[in-house]
Structure 1
Amino acid sequence: MRSLLISTVALAAALPACAFAEDASPPTALDELIVTATRLPSRLDLVTGAHVIDQAELEARQTVFVTDALATVPGVGITRNGAFGGVAAIRIRGAGPDKTLVLIDGVPAGDPADPNGTFDPSAVQAADLERVEVLSGPQGSLWGSEAIGGVVAFTTRELSGWALEAEGGSFGTARGFAGAGVSTEAYALNGSVAAFHTDGISKAASGTEKDGFDTVTANLGGRLRVSDAVRLDGRLRYTNSDIAIDGYAPPTYLLGDTSDRNKSRAWSGFGRATVDGAWGLTHELSFSDYDLTRDNLSAFPSRYTAQRQVWRWTAAHGGPGDAAAFVVGAERNDTHADLAGRTSADLSTTSAFGVLRTQVLERLTLTGSARYDDPDAFKARGTGRLSAALALGGGFTATASAGQGFKTPTISQVVCDFCFAPPVPLRPEVADGYDLRLGWRSPDGRLSGAVTGYRLNVRDQISYVASRYVNIARTRSTGVEAEADAQLSDAWRVRVAYSWTDAIDVTTGKSLLRVPDRSGAASLFWTNDPWAATLTVRGESSQSDTDVDGFSPIVRKGFVTADLAGSYRLNARVTLTARVENLTDQRYQETYGYAEPGRAIYLGVKLRD
């Protein structure tokens, strides 16, 4: 990370200025959305299982943490061990959270020091994000290991001028944001800081003490046009969090109040050179780095560190509107983790990949991708994906895809950390997935909807059984996702999403933990300048879970909650904001045994240049 830090700061120092996009206008259904996490940017209607949450929607919802926005995406489930910083997990289409690959500005951000390699999104603030993209289903041919359930990609934003935000409210909560930037066509420089503090509530539902949460995120980015053919850009992102947690304290060893804390520090960033070359090819050479340190402060303190560095080259031709486009590339992924001083290990992979999209007929578009991954410690593996989009007429489009995914064992699994039986050789987990989507869009783009059916199979899933890791489990998820978006008038817009998921462990026939059968969300957006408001209602059915002893099975009850956000623009520079979370003051749990807050009220102000 140090080498990237030095090089990026040097680049930033050489740039006198940067670009930040101005405050987004309220979301409308008219815009043509482009998905970029597909390696080859494509129109949203050509990609099954793709969803985009843009800055306008994040602003309209007054989203503080991205987990709240992700929970409204069909097929995406969020679980967390208590409000305000509790360990969170992203599940896509019933797959375990370790099978969701998370990217921050294209940088893989999983935690190699975690036993399952899972990324914890609990501290990802939305204040500095331009967009959030979700790709559901196996994406191994695009991103390699971990992308079995899907991919979540966060893209940070730029401002033009300066922006300040301040907010405070229930539970001793205070939030702030400050950002500034300038830009020209030739160069750009921007920076921002987002901070959040709360006294919180007890993480454990049975607890009485408050568990606080503090997190700060800082961003620095820049770009430079060296010539008409050569461009440089880079970004650094830093997050520091301090979280009070609850656990299983003696003598009962049941979930309850503890004085334990978790502190984490994460750096991520990239530097990239883009060159327009012969035959219309655009080459990119980039280096990215992710560096994480976690300190667990308890009666048994520990420190975990993890690093992931990726060298990547791509050559691309064509854009989203072209009849034919492709990208090819190669990358080297070096991963290292130190497991609290007990052991450390390296796992690295060399890969090559390609994506081709072509309009073979006036109404038919085919997209194919293939990837070859050669891990240093495991047998090489190839994955592929094929999708077809057929315009049926009358605004209808049918899209189908079939893809593969895999996940190499994590460092903890390879070294058999905390094993009390002789380790056995492990194989990478493998998956295949299929989906079929029927979408419709009105001629003026004001109305749209889609229904998607899917099947996801995972084999050789790694589990901790009889005091060691073994390939044993086989899981299957079958589901339906439905969504609709309607721009009812210039003032009113509504978005609705619904998911039905049947996720089971095929080896036992039991439902997978923490996957509700049914979930849904509906958002109503209203704007009447200078006023604006958004009402979001979200619900989940009951789900299989684990009791407060950490072992016994139990069923967590379903719930429905509502959030209301509103704003009033005093003038071109000043906007007053207010929001109410858990509007009806429901008592519910997202994860059994962990508390969620009752009704909370927050007031704020936004200042813009």
Structure 2
Amino acid sequence: MRFNDTRSLLLATAAAVFLPSAAFAQEADDTLPEVVVTATRIPAIVADTPGARVIDSATVEQRGAVFAADILSDVPGLSVTRSGAFGGVAQVRMRGATPGKTLVLVDGAVVNDAAEPNGAYDFSGFDLGDIERIEVLSGPQSSLWGSDAIGGVIAFTTKEIDGVRAEAEAGSYDTLRGRLAGGVANDAWALGGYVSRFVTDGISVADEANGNPEADGFENTTVGVRGRYAVSSTVELDGSARWSQSEADLDNGFPVEDNDDRSESEQWSGVIRSSVEALGLDHQFSVSASDIERQTFSAFGSVFEADRQSYRWQANGETGAAVYAFGAEREESAGSISTGDSVSLGTTSVFATGRYQATDALSVTGGLRFDDTDDFGSETTGRLSAAWDVGAGFTLSGAWGTGFKAPTVSQAVCDFCFSSQPFPALRPETADGYEAAIGWRSADGRIEGRATVYRLNVDDQITYIFDPLTFDSYYVNIAETATDGVELEGRAVLGGGFDLTLAYAWTDARDESNGRRLARIPEHAASGTLGWTGDRLSAALTVRAEGEQNDTNAATPAVLDGFVTANLNAAYALTDNVTLTARVDNLADERYQQVLGYGEPGRSAFVGVRLRY
């Protein structure tokens, strides 16, 4: 599908975001729940929190999403690209910021790859089977979480399981998937575990349309455990751990073509936390850690390993119309570089955030954080937001915030750098962003929508440059980028068991030094899901569209065509405990690329069974 056709669909989707009531609204008992986000450190209502979204496990199940990359692209303002299906590197760009500027948390543990040149996280093997909810905070969030949160934060929370769950699925490309989970949960304690296995022969990672027929397989195993114990009425202990291993066949080169390259990765993360009520405050003491090892087998094979540890104390309190949290953190990270050496970085931080309910209709939230890095000085960041209920279901909200990102391990030592002169001294990247939103919720609670406009500026962006005259290459603070955007989103409970979710984003992300559009960020993107739930049968149709986009930041970048894809997911409950499932991905067999040279699967189908006791 060419760009003009894609744009027409995108604009139609945008126009429909706030109009579902006129076309579909009928009498129904169901209403949309008032969603709460917790990655803000103090619980906040999503509708009152600029840039906040929540994806719960019911939504993941409704859409048949297997891995995180399958559903994150439905969030307006997030651009998800994969260097090939089934195991190709999957990265997220939030509001035009580069992938290393998205902070990723699992149960509060930072899992960003400290050995990746930009500190970015690879979502390709992130299985969603044990995930209860995904919280997305767009815009600078350094006042909450420190470095790496310039574009925003994606926080995953794992499930607490009560009973037994099992699932099996098979389908196209000799794909097999299985999940098994079990646990016990009550008021006093909980303990549960989970294992998932995914195996596929896959497709050619290099685009088959360019004469690359060799299939590239992918395997992933994920294991998780979560527990909780109430020591007394004022003391509780909880913890979780998650381990994942992936093996993927790869295709590389310029141009990308079939070869025998492959990769292996192993990662784990975990957190241990104690919650204590004392001195009129709820105190949380936690220790979290994550570790990743990735190895590439090719003509230029490599091995990289990275780890992080965080030590955090946070106290939450409430006084009259104010709720607040404050605390301190120490984070230490280490990553290997191309020479095999390991380099360590560290940051000590203090933070505070609070919300004041000025009137029944107006609330104001503010946050301040001081980060003292071991190697790059200190940074103070802040964020201020407000929400005003103006009546008739409308809410006005806005936010302004700042962010920073310290140089990564690779940047700090200038890995893969060559120069006869001393390398430039690097300083942290900084950012500021602001946004304004108007939201509306119907009186019967069945329809809601929000429109957001924003600006994100990034200064002193660290860039790897190469001088063709001297053959020098190194990192330097030179780039300045800016993103202007509009995000539209809406949800509705319709008559006859139908529900509708719509999202649209216009993103103008550019390099301020030359005015060029940034790579792998479509100007227009939209998605819509129409779901239906009956007595035993349920189904959901998801349509996703992206306009054309640049694939490089060069003077003459490659331009990838826009595309539209559709997925259909269905479930039939044989009994209260047994459900049959079926899904078809890429219904129209669309041929497209998200990254130049890497193809995506055509039409594919899968059937399965789900057991719950």
TM-score by length of 2: 0.92
Shift of 1:457: 0.2
The question of 1:369 aligning with 2:367 is answered: yes
Report the counterpart of residue 597 of structure 1 in structure 2. Answer: 601
Shift in Å, 1:503? 0.5
Of 145, 148, 153 in structure 2, the residue corresponding to residue 146 of structure 1 is 148
Determine whether 1:539 maps to 2:540.
Answer: no
Question: Aligned partners of 1:591 and 1:62: how far apart in 2?
Answer: 24
* In the alignment, structure 1 residue 447 sits paired with structure 2 residue 453: no
In the alignment, the residues of structure 1 paired with residue 564 and residue 213 of structure 2 have an alpha-carbon distance, to the nearest angstrom, of 24
1:304 shift after superposition: 0.6
2:558 equivalent to 1:557: no
Letter in 2 for 1:317: G
Deviation at 1:29, TM superposition (A): 5.0
Q: 1:480 offset after TM fit, Å?
A: 0.3
Cα pair 1:28 1:493 within 8 Å, conserved: no
The count of corresponding residues between Structure 1 and Structure 2 is 574
Q: CA deviation at 1:490?
A: 5.4
Alignment partner, residue 576 of structure 1? 580
- Separation in 1 of the partners of 2:556 and 2:198? 35
Tell me how far apart the structure 1 counterparts of residues 556 and 565 of structure 2 sit (CA, whole Å): 27
1:255 and 2:246 matched: no
CA distance in 1, matches of 2:567, 2:58: 17
2:402 to 398, 401, 404: 404
Amino acid at match of 1:435: E
Partner of 1:434: 434
Deviation at 1:299, TM superposition (A): 2.1
In the alignment, what sits opposite 1:19? none
Relative distance call for 1:170 and 1:51 in structure 2 (3 A) is: same
Rounded to whole Å, the distance in 2 between the matches of 1:537 and 1:226 is 48
Cα-to-partner distance string for 1:505-529 (whole Å, 9 max, x where unaligned): 0011100001100000000010011
**Once structures 1 and 2 are overlaid, which stretch shifts more, 295-304 or 212-221?**
295-304
Return the offset for 1:551.
9.8
CA contact (8 A) 1:177 1:193 kept: yes
Equivalent residue for 2:474? 468
Quick one: distance in 2 between partners of 1:508 and 1:264?
38
Is 1:588 equivalent to 2:592 in the alignment? yes
Structure 2 equivalent of residue 84 of structure 1: 86
Q: Are 2:611 and 1:607 aligned? A: yes
Deviations 1:442-467 (A, max 9, x none): 12210001100000000000001130
Question: The residue matched to 1:445 in structure 2 has which SS?
Answer: coil
Q: Which residue identity is paired with 1:167?
A: E
Q: Which residue of 2 aligns with 1:416?
A: 414
Greater CA drift, 126-135 or 297-306: 297-306
Are the counterparts in 1 of residues 160 and 190 from structure 2 also a CA contact under 8 Å? no
Partners of 2:187 and 2:87 in 1: how far apart?
40
Counterpart Cα distance in 1 of 2:91 and 2:456: 19
Tell me the distance in 2 between the aligned counterparts of 1:490 and 1:310. 49
Secondary structure of residue in 2 paired with 1:227: coil
TM-aligned CA deviation for residue 340 of structure 1: 4.3
Counterpart for residue 487 of structure 2:
481
Q: 1:509 aligns with which of 515, 523, 537?
A: 515
**Partner of residue 242 from structure 1, selected from 233, 244, 247:** 247
- Matched residue SS, 1:256: coil
- Kindly tell me: are residues 490 and 333 of structure 1, through their superposed partners in 2, closer, same or farther at Cα, counting changes over 3 Å? farther
- Deviation at residue 303 of structure 1 after TM alignment: 1.1
The residue identity in structure 2 corresponding to 1:469 is Y
Q: What per-residue deviation string (whole Å, max 9, x for no partner) do you get for residues 9-37 of structure 1?
A: xxxxxxxxxxxxxxxxxx97521110011
Q: Return the letter of the residue paired with 1:304.
A: F
* Mapped partners of 1:294, 1:416: distance in 2: 20
Between the two proteins, what is the percent identity of the paired residues? 49
CA distance in structure 2 between the partners assigned to 1:28 and 1:263 by the alignment: 46
Aligned mates of 2:244, 2:555 — CA distance in 1? 33
- Residues 175 and 283 of structure 1: is their aligned pair in 2 closer, same or farther, counting only changes over 3 Å? same
Matching residue within 35, 51, 75 for 2:37: 35
**Structure 1 position 491, deviation (Å):** 0.3
Shift of 1:101: 0.6
Paired amino acid for 1:228? S
Q: What secondary structure does 2:112 align onto?
A: coil
Letter in 2 for 1:367: T
Match of 1:306 in 2: 306
Retained in 2: the 8 A contact 1:113–1:411?
Answer: yes
Does residue 324 of the first structure (1) align with residue 322 of the second (2)?
yes
Single out whichever of 550-559 and 406-415 deviates more from structure 2: 550-559
Asked if 1 retains the 8 angstrom alpha-carbon contact of 2:483 and 2:507, the reply is: yes
Inter-partner Cα distance in structure 2 for 1:29 and 1:193: 34
Q: CA deviation at 1:162?
A: 0.3
TM-superposed CA distance for 1:318, in Å, is 3.8
Distance 1:552 1:239, change over 3 A: farther
Q: Deviations over 1:142-199 (max 9, x none)?
A: 0000000111011111221101000000011010100000122111100000111110
Aligned to 2:449, the other structure's residue is in SS state strand
Match of 2:75 in 1: 73
Looking at structure 2, the residues matched to 28 and 595 of structure 1 have their Cα atoms a distance apart, in angstroms, of 41
Unaligned runs of 5+ in 1: 1-26
Give me the whole-angstrom Cα distance separating, in 2, the residues matched to 1:552 and 1:266.
38
Contact 2:570 2:582 in 1 (8 A): yes
Q: Which residue of 1 aligns with 2:13?
A: none
Report what 2:158 is aligned to.
156
Quick one: distance in 2 between partners of 1:152 and 1:396?
27
| CA RMSD across the alignment | 1.5
* Alpha-carbon spacing, 1:323–1:194, altered in 2? closer, same or farther (3 Å): farther
Q: Does the C-alpha gap of structure 1 residues 131 and 302 become closer, same or farther in structure 2, counting only changes over 3 Å?
A: same
1:57-456 residue pairs with structure 2 within 5 A? 57-205=59-207, 206=210, 207-248=212-253, 253-279=254-280, 281-318=281-318, 323-421=321-419, 422-456=422-456
Q: Report how far residue 79 of structure 1 moved.
A: 0.5
> One-letter code of the match for 1:95?
A
Letter in 2 for 1:264: S
Match status 1:522 vs 2:528 = yes
CA distance in 2, matches of 1:241, 1:213: 7
- Kept in 1, the 8 Å contact 2:338–2:415? The answer is no
AA aligned to 2:404 is F
Query: TM-score normalised to the size of structure 1?
Result: 0.93
Q: Residue type of the partner of 1:80?
A: R
Distance 2:563 2:591 in 1: 9
Distance across 2 between alignment mates of 1:552 and 1:192: 48
State the secondary structure of the residue aligned to 1:74.
coil
